[in-house]
Structure 1
Amino acid sequence: MIEELLRRHSPKFHGMKEVYRVIHQENPVTKAKLLERTNMTQTTVVRHLEELKQYGLIRIASYDESTGGRPPALYDIEPKAAFIIGIALSRAETTVTIVDMSFQPVAEETFAMTEDHTPVLTISLLKQTITSLLEQSQIDKKDVLGIGIGTVGPLDRTKGTMYPEGFTAPGWEEVEIVDEMEKAFGLNVYLENGANTAALYESLQRGRGNESILYCISGWGLRCGVLTNGTIMQSRQGDASSFGNMIIDASSGRTLSSFISYHHLAGEVQRLRNIPETKVDKNDVMQYVLQELGNRNPMVESIVLSSAYYYGVGLANMINVLHPEIVVLNSELIKVSSAYYEKVIQTAKRFISRIDQQHPVFQAADDKVNPTAVGACILAFHSKFS
């Protein structure tokens, strides 16, 4: 039913869509608040509310306190009226999440990305996974609003094409992923950098939608998503890795990524353990790093905390330019070591300009859901209701 609402473009359906959008954003909300937010007449709002209820898209959640007379109804969306698919496609793993209209996950599946996961295999697995999750959840495709994809750039949003860097499998040069997925499912597909969709998820968690957020995902590389007053700051190249190219050491020309990436950490561990570069897989070394970091291995801790210092310096530079209200850090290292996280934040605070005037709130990423995948669902929703 919601697809019919979005497909039609008459003034009537445009008004219904606007009322639904406000209810979704403010839920629950009174009719008085809807009149204020939409600037529609009371007769028009009442008509749209009745039609949205008939479509099964909204419901009366409860009644507000009465100030005399009949208590006002509080309107809310009907969560199961439709569903959205979100994909988080990264160098290490890919996650498919299905959420309802309140962005609550109803199904999810993750598969690892290896040197065998070419674009052909990955897209085939995405199609199989989505089909399987829809069947398991008894969701009809006609009840799916769309598909959002949060992934590694560079990418071309207009063409729906990925040109990602750093994948171990061959063939990731020019991948028309949007066209492939739209042909498979007959749904609108929206492509964005994963760090940006993760920032959208963080904005949802705060419930305001107009914050300025810096969201950093560090691992084999560094990807940073930026929301300015609730709007994604998009680069023309569709590359969220550009912050990692910040020069940290002018004498050597070394970048932020070269000091904090898993490539650097694995290389340092191999060097100190006298392991030749060609004798071991860096993925295996990083598993060792994460395990030994949790075990408080002094050598590993020293390497990781040295890296955290440079991360803090780079983070301070970003904050000095962007002035975010909220800074979120997402990394496996943070999940394993609170000392790493604290060193990054302490160092950043040392180098933030006018710390007395800007007070960013620092926090570690939510690990209860995949923020990139759920954020991709939010992207699809916003694209439909923009």
Structure 2
Amino acid sequence: MIKELLGRHSPKFHGMKEVYRVIHQENPVTKAKLLERTNMTQTTVVRHLEELKQYGLIRIASYDESSGGRPPALYDIEPEAAFIIGIALSRAETTVTIADMSFQPVAEETFAMTENHTPAFTLSLLKQTITSLLKQHHIDNVDILGIGIGTVGPLDREEGVMYPDGFTAPGWEEVSIVAEMQEAFQMDVFLENGANTAALYESLRHRFGRESILYCISGWGLRCGVLANGTIMQSRKGDATSFGNMIIDASSGRTLSSFISYHHLAGETQRSMQIPETKTDKNDVMQYVLQELENRNPMVESIVLSSAYYYGVGLANMINVLHPEIVVLSSELIKLSPAYYEKVIQTAECFISQTDQQRPVFQRAEDNVNPTAVGACVLAFHSTFI
């Protein structure tokens, strides 16, 4: 039913979409609020509400308190009127999430990315995973609003092509992921940087407000997603790693990423503990770092906290330029080490200018969902409905 609504372009259906969009954003909402938000006449709003109910897209959730007379109805979306597929594709793992129209996940599956996960194999696995999840949960293709993909860049959003590097498997030079998924499922597919879709997920906490959000994902590199007044701030090349190229040490030309990446932490650990670089893989060293961090190894803690200082300096620079209201940090180090997180924030606060005018709210990323995948669902909704 929802695809029928989206596929029509008459003024009548445009008005229905607008009423539905406001209900989705404000839910639950009264008719009086809809009149205020849409600037439509009461007759028009009432007609759209009745038609949306007939389509099965909205429902009366409850009734508001009455100030005398009949209590006003509170309208809400019907969550299972349609579903959205979100894909989070990274160098380490890939997650497929199916969410309902309220962005609550109803199904999810994750698989690791290895040296065998070439583009062809990964795309085949994605198609199999989506088909299997839809079958398991008795969801038909006609009930899917679309597919959102949050992944690593660089990428071309218009052409739907990825140009990433750093994957363990070969072949990830130029991947037409959107065309492949469109051909397989015959539906709209939307491509964006994973850091940006994670920022879109964060906007759910604020019910699609006009907040400005900076979402930083650190690990082997640094990826940053930015929402400016609720809208993705897109880089021309579709690359979310540009903030990591910020120069932190002018004398050496070293960048922020070079001070905070897992490559740096693994290298510093090898040097401090005199581990021959030729005998140990960086991934193995980093696993050792994370393990010893949990064990409160003082030498490892010192290396990690030194890195946190530079992260805080770089973060302050971003905040001074972007003026975000909310800053979210995501990484294994953030999860494992409260001291690391606190050092990053404390350092950033020391270098933020005009603190009387801008005091962003700092947050850790949530653990109970995949923000990039659910944010990709939000991307698909935004791209088709707003």
Query: TM-score band, normalised by the shorter chain?
Result: over 0.9
Q: CA offsets, 1:96-127, max 9 Å, x none?
A: 10100000000011111112211111111111
How many Å separate the matches in 1 of 2:199 and 2:6? 25
- In structure 2, the residue matched to 1:360 is 360
The answer as to 2:36 corresponding to 1:36 is yes
- In structure 1, the residue matched to 2:194 is 194
- In structure 2, the residue matched to 1:313 is 313
- In structure 1, the residue matched to 2:259 is 259
How many Å separate the matches in 1 of 2:24 and 2:210? 15
> C-alpha displacement at 1:166, in angstroms?
1.6
Secondary structure of 2:174 counterpart: coil
**Superposition pairs for residues 1-386 of structure 1, below 5 Å?**
1-386=1-386
Secondary structure of 1:150 counterpart: strand
How many Å separate the matches in 2 of 1:135 and 1:298? 51
How many Å separate the matches in 2 of 1:135 and 1:48? 33
How many Å separate the matches in 1 of 2:118 and 2:266? 24
How many Å separate the matches in 2 of 1:329 and 1:20? 33
How many Å separate the matches in 1 of 2:284 and 2:117? 18
Runs of 4+ in 1 over 4 A off after TM superposition: none
How many Å separate the matches in 2 of 1:354 and 1:173? 43
Give TM-score scaled by structure 1 length: 0.99
How many Å separate the matches in 2 of 1:41 and 1:168? 58
How many Å separate the matches in 1 of 2:208 and 2:379? 16
Identity %: 86
Secondary structure of 2:327 counterpart: strand
How many Å separate the matches in 2 of 1:155 and 1:205? 28
Q: CA offsets, 1:68-101, max 9 Å, x none?
A: 1111100000000000000111111111101000
Quick one: which amino acid aligns to residue 8 of structure 1? Answer: R
> C-alpha displacement at 1:258, in angstroms?
0.5
Secondary structure of 1:3 counterpart: helix
Secondary structure of 1:220 counterpart: coil
How many Å separate the matches in 1 of 2:249 and 2:145? 47
Structure 1 alignment gaps of length 5 or more: none
Secondary structure of 1:224 counterpart: strand
Deviates more, 1:124-133 or 1:275-284: 275-284
How many Å separate the matches in 1 of 2:360 and 2:121? 42
How many Å separate the matches in 2 of 1:208 and 1:383? 14
How many Å separate the matches in 2 of 1:318 and 1:165? 24
How many Å separate the matches in 1 of 2:288 and 2:313? 26
> C-alpha displacement at 1:170, in angstroms?
1.1
> C-alpha displacement at 1:208, in angstroms?
4.6
> C-alpha displacement at 1:165, in angstroms?
2.2
Quick one: which amino acid aligns to residue 345 of structure 1? Answer: I
How many Å separate the matches in 2 of 1:225 and 1:36? 32
Deviates more, 1:283-292 or 1:140-149: 283-292
Q: CA offsets, 1:33-62, max 9 Å, x none?
A: 111111111111111111111111000000
How many Å separate the matches in 2 of 1:36 and 1:363? 33
Pairs aligned (count): 386
Secondary structure of 2:116 counterpart: coil
How many Å separate the matches in 2 of 1:208 and 1:306? 37
Secondary structure of 2:239 counterpart: coil
How many Å separate the matches in 2 of 1:268 and 1:116? 30
Quick one: which amino acid aligns to residue 292 of structure 2? Answer: E
> C-alpha displacement at 1:299, in angstroms?
1.3
How many Å separate the matches in 2 of 1:281 and 1:111? 22
**Root-mean-square deviation (CA), in Å?**
0.9
Quick one: which amino acid aligns to residue 111 of structure 1? Answer: F
Structure 2 alignment gaps of length 5 or more: none
